[in-house]
Structure 1
């Protein structure tokens, strides 16, 4: 190259999978060296309330940018581009809202955590679970879903309530809905946090996520069939 400039040296032997040799310590180790396999899940369509909230923030629903992956290195990755923090997507390019949650860390690990609000002054240790929440309600023993909310994926922090309410279950029972006459659907979690973004097929996603969590507890990566829809 003229002008006294030196030709830049470009390495020719670039490892296709990177050059890491340090072993992984934790649940995030790869099933196959330097390769992560994923199952990709369709996102749930927005409801009328969600569309109105997006419109008030000068935004529109973006289905092509958002995603949910269950990864075979014991983790869930998602891009919640339609979350509450997204604004003005109609007039400008907004940032991605990507997160990766490994199964040996919060929110899925059995670590000491405060109770959900309003009981956050109490602490507990339990293994959270991914569950399906039926958004319908019971009326005269008939399940009604007037808003067509369907089912949602939630993270239930515990199955049995910790002290001082250790005699109570964290699932809706006959005492909570008048023996199935009216109230929330039997078996629904009582205390939970919403998973975001929501998959279209909540039941199938929860089953695949539970299989991946179980494989993580066993100390092995989930197989392809365990991760599939």
Structure 2
């Protein structure tokens, strides 16, 4: 059975996270420490930090989100672009990780004790690419509370922006926010017609679709 790109990414991420948990030297070499990136030019951390996680719940949440949304986006890209869609999907995810980390790097490059890790930026890019293509599909939080995806997306961006400004909860909300923005911009660049499709679908949405 052929594995999807999404499943391959999940397997690599799970394996990398477990490996890093059991090897603190690797963990410290892969985590995003903007100060070290700036001083020692260890730019690989902008990518490797996206493949390791803080704990089991952090890993599980990101990989579940990637599985549910990634499979859909991957199929959409391949259906639209053929084999090129595979390359574009990988670029969406990997560049999404880097793009979401860059603002954190610039913000904390002189803060020696700041660290960040996790696939949130890449996952957010995939999730918001999905929202752009399928804005009226339902997204269920904790499998119970469901909203149309474009409403969820708007609330998520607002929440991430407020929490990023507020700070203090040790979660890199900047990565969530910039990953989401990158996913939207990337999808529009490769398929400008998605803007028209998005607004057509939203215009046909009704308040009754909330229930």
TM-score class, shorter: under 0.3
| Larger relative contact order, structure 1 or 2 (CA cutoff 8 Å, min sep 6) | 2
| Greater fraction helix | 2
| Greater fraction strand | 1
When the two structures are superposed, what TM-score results if normalisation uses the length of structure 1?
A: 0.24
